[in-house]
Chains A and B, each alone.
Chain A
Amino acid sequence: IAGITQAPTSQILAAGRRMTLRCTQDMRHNAMYWYRQDLGLGLRLIHYSNTAGTTGKGEVPDGYSVSRANTDDFPLTLASAVPSQTSVYFCASSGHAGEGNIQYFGAGTRLSVL
């Protein structure tokens, strides 16, 4: 079982370009999340999805969009990247209440916007 796969692992992007970070899980979890990790700020929630077909805004959603067409995939799109979006991005998923709603994380995507 792979768990959560994120791609790419790292990317350097010119400001103004469009970028999609990919996230796929094979655990059939209903809920998925995107966080960004910045030094001194911990992890902050960007967007989330409680089930396929629904999405919601987290703490820092501006400049990002998501879609959840099916259970397994939860891509994060930067429509026009800016340098302040330089960060490490983590995708996570969580399963059922019986599992204690533990969140499982991918290995992250390190993004630099120049």
Chain B
Amino acid sequence: GNSVTQMEGPVTLSEEAFLTINCTYTATGYPSLFWYVQYPGEGLQLLLKATKADDKGSNKGFEATYRKETTSFHLEKGSVQVSDSAVYFCALKDYGGSQGNLIFGKGTKLSVKP
């Protein structure tokens, strides 16, 4: 079945450090891929997405490239800020499935220290 595996946290970085959060997926069809972010005490909100191979999603300085050959969608940011502290979820939506819901990774908690 479809699944998403992302690196376990927590991840602790200093401000202005480079961030990578790894995400790999298994899917039977041609999924769309997403990164969602959850700030403390809030619901999830979409950070970025990519709908086909080699697409690059970007938002707020974060980027992720849909790599079909490695079934990966790693999240990167060149210089993190304290305000980026949150939990990040990788997710996929397989349009070939009957439910149409998202399948989430377990989440990676990021803490950025000043």
Q: Which residues of A contact B (CB under 8 A)?
A: 4, 31, 33, 40-45, 48, 50, 56, 58, 90, 92, 94, 100-108
* A33 touching B101 in the complex, CB below 8 Å, given contacts A100-B51, A101-B32: yes
23 of the cross-chain contacts (CB-CB < 8 Å) are A33-B101, A41-B106, A42-B89, A42-B104, A42-B107, A43-B104, A44-B104, A45-B99, A45-B101, A58-B101, A90-B43, A90-B44, A94-B100, A100-B32, A101-B93, A101-B100, A102-B46, A102-B49, A103-B44, A103-B46, A106-B43, A107-B43, A108-B43
In the complex, residue of chain A having the shortest beta-carbon distance to the beta carbon of B6: A42
Measured in the bound complex, the distance between the Cα atoms of B43 and A44 in whole Å is: 14
| A-contacting residues, B43-83, CB 8 Å | 43-46, 49, 51
Complex interface: chain B residues within 8 A of A106 (CB): 43
Q: Which of A44, A56, A105 contacts B45 (CB 8 A)?
A: A105
Complex interface: chain B residues within 8 A of A108 (CB): 42-43
Complex interface: chain B residues within 8 A of A56 (CB): 99
Complex interface: chain B residues within 8 A of A101 (CB): 32, 93, 100
In the complex, residue of chain A having the shortest beta-carbon distance to the beta carbon of B105: A42
* A105 touching B43 in the complex, CB below 8 Å, given contacts A41-B106, A100-B32: yes
Tell me whether B102 is interfacial, beta carbon within 8 Å.
yes
Complex interface: chain A residues within 8 A of B46 (CB): 102-104
Q: How far in angstroms is the closest Cβ of chain B from A1? A: 15
Complex interface: chain B residues within 8 A of A107 (CB): 42-43
The 8 tightest CB contacts between A and B, nearest first, are A105-B43, A42-B106, A105-B44, A43-B104, A42-B104, A107-B43, A45-B101, A42-B107
